Amino acid sequence: MSLLKLTSVEAGYGASQVLFGIDFQINEGEVVTLLGRNGMGKSTTIKTICGLLKPRRGSVRFNGAEVAGMATERISRMGIGLVPEGRRIFPNLTVYENLVAFARPGKWTLEHAYKLFPVLEKRKDNMGFQLSGGEQQMLAIARALLTNARLLLIDEATEGLAPLIRQEIWRCLHEVKKEGQSILVIDKYVQNLIDLADRHYFIENGRIGWTGSSEQLSEQPEIWERYLGV
Ligand SMILES: Nc1ncnc2c1ncn2[C@@H]1O[C@H](COP(=O)(O)OP(=O)(O)OP(=O)(O)O)[C@@H](O)[C@H]1O
């Protein structure tokens, strides 16, 4: 059984439909990506999975249960954790307070998170707003890990970061993967995603256009060109 399975999902905003029948699945322990040009529906798919947007049609099954249309809070308690685009950390709470705000018991503990991101331990008494962009991103990832979600959704974690900081984020995601964490990643750096993930889905105009393994994707650069080229 898949951990997450979307079948014929349609969604949109008011009169504009964005998703026209999305089908994909993630198995336990897999790292899967959603790729596509700007505006193709990646973030909309993530919002639909975590309940921020109600699908108009189709099914979203998590761990065997239908979650389409459920409240965000309930979906989160069922085990889907979001690292949102733009990080959304609490600027006026300390790093420590941010980390424990939504923490739930499980294998991801505060100590474990500090081991993965030593800078967060050094900065634990600093306020969120005092952190650099890279540190804020690490905090957003660590905060989501501490919810002990079975599935993490990570939307554009490397956006707006300098190359060296991006490398640090990729390194951390590799560590998280090694722990067996299931992750859905949205990002634009295909080579880094091929190195990190097991499988990929390319989205175009609200539909999945291509899916395959990292090996298949690295052998077919024309796929990148077709779905990501301008
Ligand atoms: N809150 C909203 N209200 C109305 N339209 C929206 C809203 N959010 C997104 N859209 C529109 O939905 C379409 C898909 O947006 P979405 O954010 O899912 O794209 P994306 O693939 O994640 O790309 P990006 O990298 O630009 O975020 C776009 O045309 C966008 O303008």
Q: Best mutation site among 9, 18, 202 for ligand 1, i.e. most ligand atoms within 8 A of its Cβ?
A: 18
Q: Which residues approach ligand 1 with their CB closer than 6 A?
A: 13, 16, 18, 36, 38-44
Q: Whose CA is nearest to atom 25 of ligand 1?
A: 38
> Against a cut of 0.80, is the pTM above it?
yes
pLDDT confidence band for 108 (50 / 70 / 90): very high
- With tokens 């899916």, the residue in question is 211
What is the rounded CA–CA span in Å between residue 167 and residue 164? 5
Q: What span, in angstroms and rounded, lies between the C-alpha atoms of 210 and 116? A: 34
| Domains identified in the chain and CATH numbers | 4-85+152-228 (3.40.50.300)
Distance 43 CA to ligand 1 centre (A): 7
CB 2 within 8 A of CB 29: no
**Is the Cβ–Cβ distance between 151 and 184 less than 8 Å?**
yes
Q: Rounded CA gap, 106 and 177, in Å?
A: 16
* Closest CA relative to residue 44, chosen from 27, 22, 64: 22
Q: Phi and psi for 117 in degrees, rounded to 5?
A: -125, 80
φ, ψ dihedrals at 86, nearest 5°? 85, 5
Mutate to test the pocket of ligand 1, among 19, 20, 22, 38 (most ligand atoms within 8 A of CB): 38
ipTM: 0.94
Do the beta carbons of residue 197 and residue 33 sit within 8 Å? yes
Instruction: Express each pLDDT in 156-193 by its tens digit.
Output: 888 888 898 899 899 999 999 999 999 999 999 999 99
Q: Which residue's alpha carbon is at the smallest distance from atom 1 of ligand 1?
A: 13
Instruction: Tell me phi and psi for residue 16, to 5 degrees.
Output: -100, 120
pLDDT above 70: percentage of residues in the chain: 100
pLDDT digits (tens, 9 = 90+) for 80-100: 999 888 778 888 899 999 998
